[in-house]
Chain A
Amino acid sequence: MLRIAGCAKKLVGTASFETQVPATRVLSRFYHERVVDHYDNPRNVGSFDKNDPTVGTGLVGAPACGDVMKLQIRVDEKTGKITDARFKTFGCGSAIASSSVATEWVKGKLMEEVVTIKNTEIAKHLSLPPVKLHCSMLAEDAIKAAVKDYLAKRGSATAAGTGEKSATA
Chain B
Amino acid sequence: MMASKLLLQRRLFRFLQLSPYSLCSFSSSSSIHGSPFHSVKATEISSLSTSSRNFCSQKSNLVDQFHGPAPIDYSSLLQEGDFHRLAESTIHNLQEKFEDYGDSIDLDGFDIDYGNDVLTVKLGELGTYVLNKQTPNRQLWLSSPLSGPSRFDWDQDTKAWIYRRNKAKLYKILEDELEQLCGKTIVLS
Q: Across the interface, do B40 and A64 meet the contact criterion of CB distance under 8 Å?
A: yes
- Nearest CB of B to A104, in Å: 20
Given contacts A20-B116, A131-B130, A134-B143, 20 further A-B contacts (CB under 8 A): A16-B116, A17-B116, A20-B113, A60-B23, A62-B137, A64-B40, A65-B25, A65-B38, A65-B136, A65-B137, A130-B128, A130-B130, A131-B143, A133-B148, A133-B149, A134-B141, A137-B148, A138-B26, A141-B24, A145-B24
Interface of A is mostly: helix
Q: How large is the interface on B (under 10, 10 to 19, 20 to 34, 35 or more residues)?
A: 20 to 34
A60 to B39, CA, bound (A): 9
Q: Which residues of chain A from 126 to 144 have a CB within 8 Å of any chain B CB?
A: 130-131, 133-134, 136-138, 141
> Contact at A136–B116, with CB atoms within 8 Å?
no
Contacting residues, chain B, for A108 (C-beta < 8 A): none
CB proximity of B158 to chain A, nearest CB, Å = 24
Which residues does chain A contribute within 8 Å of B132, judged by CB atoms?
Answer: 131
Q: Which of B38, B127, B148 contacts A119 (CB 8 A)?
A: B148
**Contact between A62 and B143 (Cβ–Cβ < 8 Å)?**
no
B21's nearest neighbour on chain A, judged by CB, is: A59
Query: Per-residue CB proximity of B147-160 to A under 8 Å, as 1/0?
Result: 01101000000000
Q: Does B79 sit at the interface, judged by CB under 8 A?
A: no
CB-defined contacts of A16 to chain B, threshold 8 Å: 116
Point out the residues of chain B lying under 8 angstroms from A131, CB to CB.
118, 130, 132, 143
